[in-house]
Amino acid sequence: MVKEWEVLPDFTPGAITFGEIPTFRYGGRLQDEIGRRLDPARAVDIFEQMLTIRAFEEMIVALKEGKYEPLPGFKFVGATHLSIGQEGVAAGAINAIRPDDYITSTHRGHGHSIAKGWTAVKAMEEARRAAFVKGYEDGAGEGDLRERALQVHLNRTMAELFGKEAGYCRGRGGGMHIADFNAGHLGANAIVGGSYAIATGAALGSIKLGLGRVALGIVGDGAENNGIAHECKNFATMGQWPRGLPLIFLIENNQYGMTGQQLREVTGVRYLAQRAAGYDDQAMHAEVVNGMDALAVWDAVTRAAEIARRGDGAVVLECMTYRYMGHSLSDSRVRYRSQEEEEAWKACDAICRMKEQLIEAKVVSEPQIAALEEQAQARIRRACDWAAHAADPDPKEMYAGLFTDTTSDGIGDEYRTTQIHKRVRRFKRDSDGAILYRHAVWEALFEEMMRDRRVVLYGEDVADYGGAFQVTVGLIDAFGRDRVFNTAISEAAVCGTAAGAAMVGMRPVAEIMYIDFVPLALDQIGNQIAKTRYMFGGKATLPLVIRTTLGGGKGYAGQHSQSLEAVVTQFPGLKVVAPSTAYDVKGLLKSAIRDDNPVIFIEHQLLYTEKGVVPEEEYLVPLGVANVLREGTDLTLVAYSRQALVAMEAAERGAQEGISIEVVDPRTLLPLDVETISKSVAKTGRLLLACQAPKTGCFAEHIAYEVQACCFQHLKAPVKIVAAYDVPPPMAQPLEQENIPDAAKLLREAKAML
């Protein structure tokens, strides 16, 4: 399949020009908006949210300093990244999107969370409000159901900061990692820029599922200097999207990363928004906004949401604001900014500005303003008192929320693909019923994409070319570019967008060409994908698969031949699979795609041309179940991926010399089937492990630990590991052959143990 777009030479002299990026274009007043675009009740509501956000954070200061008298001796433990001064951005932005739209937030995200939950509660029908309050009646206070629901929202927000079971994330996330998936809040993020890709993936999912929702990705100014910012802006503006992604990147520029000043110190631009000119011909509709004016933010985000929703592309907004406090409460801020600077910004205070405009527009009177201020303070006092006395999580529930036991089995025909672009033929089996390993991967992908239209495949070169190893050739012919598409060489964006898309209902299969490239995406894999479900109290579901390959044996040297499977096993929350046969790779990949947990699926490049018997009828291989490839009595040899075949060769050679070797293939590293391996070792009394990774820190070390803990009394000899040398994979053939364990080396070590 040839691409739809031709790249032809054109060397006509000219110049590249960029359109203007407007700055501070909004000059309206509340009195002009009332009756036109904003009703009085909504204006008051925005003001109430701002008051509540500030009262919430001022309470944190009082608690941290021990100045809240009703709770003598109460010790607040946790992060204290406050956004006092930035309330206009949170309230203005959240009120400009729909209650069911998505947001992602930052570690300075209390305000975003309060505003998002507030607008969600206000939009709820009475029955849903009643369900929201149920179980929290003791802290709901008095008043109508809406008021009680708002109080519960603030209670649960405060409880999360206090690490309480009643918190939105059951105390697993705390102030830097708060989320409320029922309100479309996909999570605050303590990694600077970490949520860039999640917001982008949520927008992708909205398009693919036809949800009609916008994703508002709120990031700080510091995140703009992170690589993921570039990767995601490029991903969001790829020309292959028939309609632009419904996405707004909102940069909350409070002038300082931590202490690094954006203007003139750590960047070379006046406004971060001007960088948007590099991504598409509309400069991503970029605009610089007065973040100290809630109405200006509301106006800009309202217009941006309209642009994004109608399919005219992703938008970048830079809201210029200021944090009155330091980076955290341990930061006195006097070392890097002046009092004069602070006072100048405080003179533009967003709350004061909104108060003046409400009075000017005769929406409320000064006594009514005072009543609203007292009400905000009272709500926060109630939230604080309730949260302080709420129950702590039970340590016995330590693992609660890490994994889900659900899958997409039994979905029936609801999501079945009903129409394909072009019929494709199955791979012909030989006389034994065998096909190539890579064809088995293809069949798994094809069958699951037919079974569930939520499954999409993307990554570097997977579409027209079929991937670096020609594994996915022809899938684009069947499913089209809507479900099989290339990305830029942006490993972090590939993995992170898969997370965001999965959170909103997609089942993406993302490909990272070589496992050597996984370190480029480790933040997204380890800090986002692996941790999201647990960190957000088990509320998120991430049904995604990241396919990648192991190398070695091709002379590709140190950056295309590594075996880094142990690296990804270091992140609780991931399942890790490494099949050795064509039968297993198909059955395990189908199970991985159906699993509602994130799975790292590792294929070995040298196995792609190995043949194996693969039934044509439907079958699955369960995750977490090892396979005894060959029974024996003298020694247990455990190996996975291609080393399992090497182990089988060693066992066959051993049999010719009268040595009975039992070969066990774990198939999945996480979860690891310790029971099957231990049962074998209890029988043979000896354990030899083979893997292609360097010996120090390899996954075989973990298997060895687990087995000796279970079978120490059965061991007749120390456990032994045969692995690669502790060097990067060398290119020269003699060195590479010596570095990768072969059957002769395994048999030699087996004999030594016997």
Q: Which residues are catalytic?
A: 560
Q: Residue 687 is which amino acid?
A: L
User: Which residues, in sequence order, are bridge partners of residue 577?
Assistant: 601, 668
Three-state DSSP state, 545: strand
Is the distance from CB of 483 to CB of 472 less than 8 angstroms?
A: no
Rounded Cα distance between 172 and 187, Å, is 12
3-state SS string for 548-580: EEECCCCCCHHHCCCCCHHHHCCCCCCEEECCC
Rounded Cα distance between 187 and 496, Å, is 13
Give the sheet arrangement for strand 575-577, strand by strand. 484-486, 455-459, 507-512, 545-550, 599-604, 575-577, 668-670
Length of the chain: 754
- Structure token digits, residue 648: 């089988």
- Structure token digits, residue 647: 């182990």
C-alpha closest to that of 453 among 210, 103, 276, 705? 210
Rounded Cα distance between 462 and 472, Å, is 6
- Structure token digits, residue 670: 């996480």
Rounded Cα distance between 150 and 26, Å, is 31
- Residue 635, H or E segment: strand 635-639
- Residue 64, H or E segment: helix 40-64
C-alpha closest to that of 634 among 650, 614, 617? 650
Helix axes 642-656, 743-753, angle to 10 degrees: 60
Q: Is the dihedral of CA 390, 395, 399, 404 positive or negative?
A: negative
Count other C-beta atoms under 10 Å from residue 541's C-beta.
Answer: 18
Q: How far is CA 146 from the centre of its chain?
A: 33
Q: Which residues contact 197 (CB under 8 A, 6 or more apart)?
A: 228, 231, 232, 235, 492, 493, 495, 496, 497, 499, 500, 524, 528
Helix axes 674-684, 699-711, angle to 10 degrees: 60
Half-sphere exposure of 239 (CA within 13 A, CB side): 6
Rounded Cα distance between 36 and 22, Å, is 23
Q: Residue 320 is which amino acid?
A: M
Q: Which residues contact 735 (CB under 8 A, 6 or more apart)?
A: none
Count other C-beta atoms under 10 Å from residue 214's C-beta.
Answer: 30
Half-sphere exposure of 488 (CA within 13 A, CB side): 17
